[in-house]
């Protein structure tokens, strides 16, 4: 049975490659167009095999040396412009003619913020960003703090703590509460919900062929279940708001209550897709950032000592062992813990690359970049550039004591689509580390985690 399935998969894969090749041939312009230099590799697969065979950073470094900071290639079945420099990142990430790549539209939904354009995109951003302002985030400090304490409390009864599991639990509970306050993360319903979100993430990393038993098919099924669940939740909340006028401080309310003269009320489909955007955006990324931060602090005694001193000062100031962290307390973490967070984001490159699709022919430095080509902007090659960050592979938070120059530190991307969750993530990380350091002097069993962590990082960075 397995053999038959494998042969079908191989056949589908070949058909898929053939179609990609035919489509990509359509996109290549006649040679009169001056493209950025580059190599397009083999027919069908282009340079995808080298991209995966070499480490992606080696792939980028060798081509950057050969062709310059912006080069053309053929990756994952599409003719692609690859950007590795600050100047090019700023250009592509602010360019009005570089839209969403559309690679995941079918899976993540047509109305999702990351696929929306123009006034629709601006509308969703207004709503999400409205929740990330200090006045709103202030209210989340208590929730995040309680969550961090609850998770750390449970460590006391465990012989060994697998940090990745714990950081996933933390980010999962935090994001669920952010999306809908009334949902309790540990109920079977919520565990199923996050399993479905996870299936979506896995599906996004697969070839998009809808055949039985494949992870892609499972992701589509998970997507349908998520829609049904969220639809029920939205209808229930709409009814509650209508009957009692009861308000909640969560994303569900923000979307439902948003009134716009031009758009009117937001449809269930729009709310569903964008709640999924928050669940997708805020889960694994935060968990990985926290995991890396703990690891780097553990391996760098000097940085650890500085962060510890800062947290102890806050702890002593509170004057009691039973205290609530406040927004103002988190402001006391800017000098040391916040720079350690920034250094973690730079070095770990949790989202190492973003993609765009060119919507009409554009010019860049005398080259023509054709419509329908993909653009890959690699933030990781900027963050690991020795000319910008000397000793780039070393964890050294002190480098962020002087603010980074525009475009040189872009873990959350840049321009109109910059991640709206950056302030929330930083808050979550600071609160957790504060509680961890003031409660435990930790020692980690990282060797248990390494294989899992590495595979997570590779998939999350699209590497
Ligand atoms: C360490 C954690 C995180 C990292 C590194 C990160 C990074 C990114 C990046 C690189 C993008 C793509 C921007 C682009 O296409 O140019 C993005 C988009 C997005 N992120 Fe995050 N993110 C993180 C956490 C979060 C959290 C906690 C949330 C919300 C709960 C969130 C919500 C979003 C949303 C909604 C978008 C789409 C924005 C748009 O298309 O306008 N992210 N994020």
Residues 6+ apart with CB under 8 A from 270: 111, 124, 255
Per-residue pLDDT, averaged over 342-353, amounts to 97
Q: Which of 50-64, 177-191, 209-223 has the highest mean predicted lDDT (pLDDT)?
A: 209-223
Give the range among 191-200, 358-367, 429-438 with minimum mean pLDDT: 191-200
Assigned domain for 69 exists: no
Find out whether 422 and 341 touch, Cβ atoms under 8 Å: no
Assigned domain for 363 exists: yes
User: Among residues of the chain, what percentage have pLDDT more than 70?
Assistant: 88
Residue whose CB lies within 8 A of the most ligand 1 atoms, among 281, 290, 293, 409, for a mutation test: 281
What is the number of domains present in the chain?
A: 1
User: Among residues of the chain, what percentage have pLDDT more than 90?
Assistant: 65
Closest atom of ligand 1 to 114 CA is 40
Assigned domain for 20 exists: no
Per-residue pLDDT, averaged over 116-135, amounts to 94
Per-residue pLDDT, averaged over 330-350, amounts to 97
Q: According to the model, what pLDDT value does residue 431 have?
A: 97
Is 419 labelled as part of a ligand binding site?
yes
Report CA(418)–ligand 1 centroid distance (Å): 7
CA angle centred on 274, ends 270 and 279, rounded to 5°: 150
- Nearest residue to 131 via CA among 241, 248, 270: 248
* Span 87-122, pLDDT tens digits: 999 999 999 999 999 888 888 888 999 999 999 999
Token pair 């973003």: residue: 354
d(CA 386, CA 377): 18
Assigned domain for 287 exists: yes
Q: According to the model, what pLDDT value does residue 441 have?
A: 57
- pLDDT of 5 higher than 50: no
Per-residue pLDDT, averaged over 257-285, amounts to 89
Report CA(120)–ligand 1 centroid distance (Å): 17
d(CA 177, CA 424): 13
User: Could you tell me the residue range of the domain that residue 216 belongs to?
Assistant: 85-439
Sign of the C-alpha dihedral computed for residues 210, 213, 219 and 224 taken in this order: positive
Can you give the CATH number for the domain in which 311 is found?
Answer: 1.10.630.10
Assigned domain for 191 exists: yes
- pLDDT of 218 higher than 80: yes
Per-residue pLDDT, averaged over 132-155, amounts to 92
Residue whose CB lies within 8 A of the most ligand 1 atoms, among 126, 172, 277, 419, for a mutation test: 419
Q: According to the model, what pLDDT value does residue 433 have?
A: 97
- pLDDT of 461 higher than 90: no
- Nearest residue to 94 via CA among 406, 343, 388: 406
* Span 377-435, pLDDT tens digits: 999 999 999 999 999 999 999 999 999 999 999 999 999 999 999 999 999 999 999 99
Residue 419: C-alpha distances to residues 56, 177, 317, 423, 439 (Å): 23, 19, 34, 9, 31
Report CA(152)–ligand 1 centroid distance (Å): 26
- What's the number of CA atoms in the CB half-sphere (13 Å) around residue 385? 19
Assigned domain for 54 exists: no
d(CA 371, CA 287): 37
Report CA(421)–ligand 1 centroid distance (Å): 6
Average per-residue pLDDT in the chain? 87
* Span 26-61, pLDDT tens digits: 555 555 789 999 988 777 677 877 787 778 888 999
Q: Which residues line ligand 1 (CB under 6 A)?
A: 93, 113-114, 125, 128, 175, 178, 277-278, 281-282, 285-286, 289, 350-351, 354, 411-413, 417, 419-421, 424-425
- pLDDT of 69 higher than 50: yes
- Nearest residue to 427 via CA among 301, 292, 289: 289
Assigned domain for 373 exists: yes
- Nearest residue to 428 via CA among 213, 174, 218, 193: 174
d(CA 57, CA 46): 18
Per-residue pLDDT, averaged over 278-296, amounts to 94
Tell me whether residue 11 is exposed, middle or buried, using C-beta atoms within 10 angstroms of its C-beta: 0 to 12, 13 to 18, 19 or more. Answer: exposed
What's the Rg (C-alpha) of the chain?
Answer: 23
Q: How confident is the model at residue 132 (pLDDT cuts 50, 70, 90)?
A: very high
What is the reported pTM? 0.88
Higher pLDDT, 415 or 320: 415
Tell me whether residue 122 is exposed, middle or buried, using C-beta atoms within 10 angstroms of its C-beta: 0 to 12, 13 to 18, 19 or more. Answer: exposed
Per-residue pLDDT, averaged over 239-264, amounts to 85
d(CA 395, CA 126): 35
Q: Which long-range contacts (CB under 8 A, 24 or more apart) does 194-201 make?
A: 194/279, 194/283, 195/222, 196/222, 196/223, 196/225, 196/226, 197/222, 197/226, 197/276, 197/279, 197/280, 197/283, 200/107, 200/108, 200/226, 200/276, 200/280, 201/280, 201/284, 201/459
- pLDDT of 19 higher than 90: no
Assigned domain for 48 exists: no
- Nearest residue to 351 via CA among 275, 288, 423, 429: 288
């Amino acid at each position: 049975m397995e053999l038959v399935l494998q042969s079908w998969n191989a056949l589908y894969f070949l058909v898929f490659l053939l179609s990609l090749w035919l489509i990509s041939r359509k996109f290549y312009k006649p040679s009169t167009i001056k493209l950025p230099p580059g190599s397009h590799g083999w027919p069908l697969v282009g340079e995808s095999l080298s991209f995966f065979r070499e480490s992606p950073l080696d792939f980028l470094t060798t081509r950057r040396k050969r062709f310059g900071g912006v080069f053309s290639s053929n990756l994952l079945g599409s003719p692609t412009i690859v950007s590795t420099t600050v100047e090019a990142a700023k250009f592509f990430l602010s360019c009005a003619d570089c839209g969403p790549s559309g690679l995941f539209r079918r899976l993540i939904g047509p109305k999702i913020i990351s696929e929306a354009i123009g006034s629709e995109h601006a509308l969703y951003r207004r709503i999400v960003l409205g929740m990330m302002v200090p006045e709103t985030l202030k209210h989340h400090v208590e929730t995040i703090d309680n969550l961090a304490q609850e998770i750390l409390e449970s460590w006391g009864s465990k012989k060994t703590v697998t940090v990745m599991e714990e950081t996933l639990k933390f980010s999962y509970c935090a994001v669920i509460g952010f999306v809908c306050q009334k949902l309790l993360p540990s109920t079977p319903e919520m565990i199923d919900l996050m399993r479905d979100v996870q299936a979506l993430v896995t599906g996004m990393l697969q070839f998009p062929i809808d055949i039985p038993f494949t992870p892609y098919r499972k992701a589509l099924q998970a997507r349908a279940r998520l829609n049904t669940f969220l639809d029920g939740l939205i209808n229930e909340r709409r009814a509650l708001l209508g009957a009692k006028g009861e308000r909640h401080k969560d994303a569900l309310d923000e979307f439902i209550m948003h009134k716009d003269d031009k758009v009117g009320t937001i449809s269930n489909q729009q709310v569903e897709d964008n709640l999924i955007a928050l669940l997708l955006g805020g889960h694994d990324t935060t968990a990985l950032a926290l995991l890396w931060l703990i690891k780097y602090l553990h391996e760098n005694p000097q940085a650890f000592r500085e962060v510890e001193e800062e947290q102890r000062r806050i702890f002593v100031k509170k004057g009691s062992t039973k205290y609530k962290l406040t927004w103002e307390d988190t402001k006391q973490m800017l000098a040391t813990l916040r720079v350690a967070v920034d250094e973690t984001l730079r070095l770990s490159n949790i989202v190492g690359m973003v993609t765009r699709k060119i919507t009409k022919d554009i010019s860049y430095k005398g080259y023509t970049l054709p419509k329908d080509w993909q653009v890959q902007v690699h933030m990781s090659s900027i963050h690991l550039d020795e000319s910008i960050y000397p000793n780039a592979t070393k964890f050294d938070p002190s480098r962020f004591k002087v603010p980074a120059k525009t475009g040189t530190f872009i873990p959350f991307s840049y321009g109109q689509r910059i991640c709206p969750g950056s302030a929330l993530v930083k808050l979550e990380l600071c609160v957790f580390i504060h509680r961890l350091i003031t409660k435990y002097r930790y020692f980690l069993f990282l060797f248990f985690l390494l294989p899992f962590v590495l595979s997570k990082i590779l998939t999350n960075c699209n590497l």
